[in-house]
Chain A
Amino acid sequence: MSQDIVKKISSCLGPNIPIESVAQGAEAVVFSTTVHPYHPNAGTDKKYIVKYRPPKRYRHPSIDQALTKRRTLGESRLLSKLYLIEGLNVPKLIACDPYNGCIWLEFLGQELPNGNGFSNLKNFLWMYASKGYNPHDNVVKETLHAVGQQIGLLHWNDYCHGDLTSSNIVLGKVKDGWKAYLIDFGLSSTSNLVEDKGVDLYVLERAIMSTHSSYADDYNAWLLEGFSQVYQSQGSKGETKLKEVLNRFNEVRLRGRKRSMIG
């Protein structure tokens, strides 16, 4: 990561907040810190995430400023609403600075065993696809069910994620398995349109197919099982809505494949 970005974020945060780089995503750079932004006596035993959207030199300043503000603010507003939904696991919002593109969040996840990296779904699936592991292990199935349920719950409440990939799902170890958290809501929106939900599911399916090709069919089936369970638990109204979403998902998928590809 470039020093330039670290300098910029440090100037936004002020001098007394030590940060440690965690990851560089496409849009944002993620740091961790032990300092709470406005609660000086919170203690230093807790970790927090600072998510920073640095200005992108490649795009026109007016596009850049508009996007940074829209996405930072949008993500914060959404997170605060999503956090209140029972059963939905998203990081807790602590603070937000939309003009500088900064968000403070609670820290989620941990390191996977045996140096397999941070516990997002991507690394988790890669770990179980690697030597010495069983990609069809029950824990994989259960975890993907849990992830599917989170997405189902999100859609059921008329929210769309907009960027579902295996990198944007974080797993936290619990007693007998893994708890799934959805993160990265920069492209998310409230929407009750089946089209948006269908596209959401399609984007995830494609991300799984391209990133976890060998076992994608099973993975996608398990995700969809978890997704469906949420709707099915809502009685006949849920069943009807589920059918609508899945039908549209199929349509979007066909559209994607049929779309003519002229050289």
Chain B
Amino acid sequence: MVNLNTVRPKNGRDYYIALGLEGSANKLGVGVLKHPLLPQHEDGDLSFNCHAEILANVRDTYITPPGEGFLPRDTARHHKNWCIRLIKQALKEASIVNPSLDIDVICFTKGPGMGAPLHSVAIAARTCSLLWEVPLIGVNHCVGHIEMGREITKAVNPVVLYVSGGNTQVIAYSEKRYRIFGETLDIAIGNCLDRFARTLRIPNAPSPGYNIEQLAKRCANKETLLELPYTVKGMDLSMSGILAYIDSLAKDLFRGNKKNKTLFDPKTGEQKVTVEDLCYSLQENLFAMLVEITERAMAHVNSNQVLIVGGVGCNVRLQEMMQMMCEDRANGQVHATDERFCIDNGVMIAQAGLLQYRMGDVVKDLKETVVTQKFRTDEVYVAWRE
């Protein structure tokens, strides 16, 4: 039996408080989360229903000019500049006066992500832990997304589609691990969209693909679609070929290469395709692939719930397509969150970390807090679920 109250709150309080620090990519997030101590958590698989209360959820994004990606060093510098200010702001919003007394555990992202930004946040987390004498927990970023999604949507045991700048995975829980059923064989969906946005010289903020989504909405001719490669391999997919192809189309379009018959009428030289059309076709094609592999995983594990998490998960079109897929399956349900939780944030790290902490997991030696760029979702032992 899972006992989520294995470790009791500090100082005889009847609630837990966790501080969560996230900085694995270009978003720096600090969250403060409260779990009440409830008797029903002593036995049973209730980790999706912690009655979590968000006391603070602040974020600052390192924004690069359109056409440029974020580099690890510059991102790390951003995080260093803002980390302490953000922690102070979060503590203030949460009305925490004395962190030593009021905080049960400090949770930080151990990986996966970019090394330098992860490291700069880990340094702040370690210092706070020693300064306040509060225990530390290293959290897997992907598990953070999953647990926050479950808590917000109350999805008990969903198939999880995790779509972000660095990840594209279809995940389902089985025997104490979040197992990866399908994933990208090359680049991540968010990366694919970001890179195409760079080709189009449109900004990547606030989330991967947001501006492509906006352009796609304005596509005037939604009946016809450009034919793009459709590359689903079992429950896995590949996206680099699609990106290379659509990139070349965009470049020909900007260059006005009339020889390209897909884009220009060979007789009149008239332009047939717009940037909006490209965005629309790309999105329709990529998302159809994502929904298909999710449905494959659902059929394979006999599940009827889907939870979409990660930055690309805010995309309304993706959510809509997933909804339609689920409606055609028996009792199908889709769960998704909005940009407060889809986009990387500190609260999700606090949620996953606090679950770990309540099960008795804690950093015993600071050597365990060394960050790691590669940290697979299925490496984490999920003690808090049956």
- A residues touching B (Cβ–Cβ < 8 Å)? 1-2, 4-5, 24-27, 54, 56-60, 62-63, 66-67, 122, 162-165, 167, 187, 199, 203, 206-207, 209-211, 213-214, 255-263
Taking CB atoms, residues of chain B closer than 8 Å to A256 are 183, 185
- Contact B235–A263 (Cβ < 8 Å): no
Query: Using Cβ atoms and an 8 Å threshold, which residues of chain B touch A164?
Result: 234
Task: Tell which of B165, B175, B374 touches A214, judged by Cβ atoms closer than 8 Å.
Answer: B175
Q: B167 is contacted by which of A25, A162, A263 (Cβ under 8 Å)?
A: A263
Closest to A255 in B: B185
Surface stretch bound by A, among B130-138, B267-275, B293-301:
B293-301
Q: Most chain-B Cβ atoms within 10 A of its Cβ — which of A4, A162, A206, A263? A: A263
Interface contact B24-A187, CB-CB below 8 Å: no
Q: Contact at A67–B230, with CB atoms within 8 Å?
A: yes
Query: A58 near B373 (CB under 8 angstroms)?
Result: no
Residues of chain A contacted by B175 (CB below 8 angstroms): 213-214
Most buried by B among A2, A4, A26, A213: A26
Does B376 contact A207, Cβ atoms closer than 8 Å? no
When A59-B288, A162-B234 are in contact, do A263 and B25 touch as well, CB less than 8 Å?
yes
Q: Taking the nearest CB of chain B, how far is it from the CB of A131, in angstroms? A: 16
**Residue contact B225 to A63, C-beta cutoff 8 Å:** yes
> What residues on A are CB-neighbors of B291 within 8 Å?
58-59
Q: Which of A54, A56, A214, A260 contacts B112 (CB 8 A)?
A: A260
The reply to whether B224 and A62 contact each other, CB–CB distance below 8 Å, is yes
Most chain B beta carbons < 10 A, residue from A54, A207, A257, A262: A262
From A70, which residue of chain B is reached at the shortest CB distance? B230
Flag whether B322 is at the interface (Cβ < 8 A): yes
**In this assembly, does B232 line the interface, its C-beta being within 8 Å of a C-beta of chain A?**
yes
Query: B90-126, CB under 8 A of A: which get 1 and which 0?
Result: 0000000000000000000100111000000000000
- A154–chain B nearest beta-carbon distance, Å: 14
Whole-angstrom distance from the CB of B344 to the nearest CB of chain A?
6
Q: Which residues of A contact B330 (CB under 8 A)?
A: 1-2, 24
Closest to B318 in A: A58
Residues of B within 8 Å of A, CB-based: how many?
58
Say which residue of A58, A187, A209 sits within 8 Å of B234 (CB atoms).
A187
How many Å from the CB of B102 to the closest CB on chain A?
Answer: 28
Give min CB distance, A209 to chain B, whole Å: 7
Given A24-B330, A210-B180, verify A203-B233 contact (CB < 8 Å). Answer: yes
**Bound-complex Cα distance A245 to B85 (A):** 54
In the complex, what residue of chain A is closest to B285 when comparing beta carbons? A63
Q: List A contacts of B161 (CB < 8 A).
A: none
A21 CB → nearest B CB, Å = 11
Return chain A residues, CB-CB under 8 Å to B264: none
The reply to whether the CB of B68 lies closer than 8 angstroms to some CB of chain A is no
B236 touches A203 (CB 8 A): yes
Contact partners of A122 in chain B: CB under 8 A: 300
Which residue of B24, B225, B233, B296 is within 8 Å of A26 (Cβ)?
Answer: B296
Kindly list 4 other residue pairs between chains A and B, CB separation below 8 angstroms, not including A2-B328, A262-B114, A263-B113.
A63-B284, A66-B227, A203-B236, A206-B180
What are 10 A-B pairs with beta-carbon distances under 8 A?
A: A2-B328, A24-B329, A165-B235, A203-B233, A206-B180, A260-B166, A262-B165, A263-B24, A263-B25, A263-B112
* B179 contacts partner chain A, Cβ-Cβ < 8 Å: yes
Q: Cα distance A163–B374 when bound, in Å? A: 27
Would you give the shortest CB distance from A19 to chain B, in whole angstroms? 17
Tell me the smallest distance from the CB of A194 to a CB of chain B, in Å: 15
Residues of A within 8 A of B299 (CB): 24-26, 167
Q: B344's closest neighbor in chain A, by CB?
A: A263
Any A CB within 8 A of the CB of B177: yes
B181 at the binding interface (Cβ < 8 Å): yes
Which residues of chain A have C-beta atoms less than 8 A from B180's C-beta?
206, 210
The 3 A-B residue pairs with the shortest CB-CB distance in the complex, in nearest-first order: A262-B166, A263-B24, A59-B288
In the complex, the answer to whether B300 meets A187 with C-beta atoms within 8 Å is no
- Min CB distance, B285 to chain A, in Å? 7
B284 x A56 contact (CB < 8 A): no
B329-384 residues at the A interface, CB under 8 angstroms = 329-330, 344, 373-376
Determine the chain A residues whose CB is within 8 A of the CB of B24 once the complex forms: 262-263
Q: Does B52 contact A (CB under 8 A)?
A: no
Residues of A within 8 A of B235 (CB): 163, 165, 203, 207
In the assembled complex, which residues on chain B have CB atoms less than 8 Å from the CB atom of A54?
328
Beta-carbon contact of B181 and A261 below 8 Å = no
A4 to chain B, nearest CB (A): 8
B288 close to A260 (CB less than 8 A):
no
Residues of A within 8 A of B183 (CB): 256
Contacts of A24 in B (CB 8 A): 299, 329-330
Picked from A58, A187, A262, the residue with its CB within 8 Å of the CB of B288 is A58
CB-CB under 8 A from B184, the residues of chain A are: 259
Q: Are B325 and A56 in contact (CB under 8 A)?
A: yes
Shortest CB distance A90–B (Å):
18
A4 neighbours in B (Cβ, 8 Å): 328
Interface residue? B47 (CB, 8 A) = no
B296-337, CB < 8 A from A: 296-301, 321-322, 324-325, 327-330
Chain A residues near B186 (CB-CB < 8 A): 259
Q: What is the chain B residue whose CB lies nearest that of A25?
A: B299
Q: Which residue of A lies closest to B72 (CB)?
A: A262
Q: How far is the CB of A170 from chain B (nearest CB, A)?
A: 15
**A207: B residues at CB distance < 8 A:** 181, 234-235, 300
Contact between chains at B113 and A262 (CB < 8 Å): yes
B214-229 Cβ-contact flags toward A at 8 Å (1 or 0): 0000000000110100
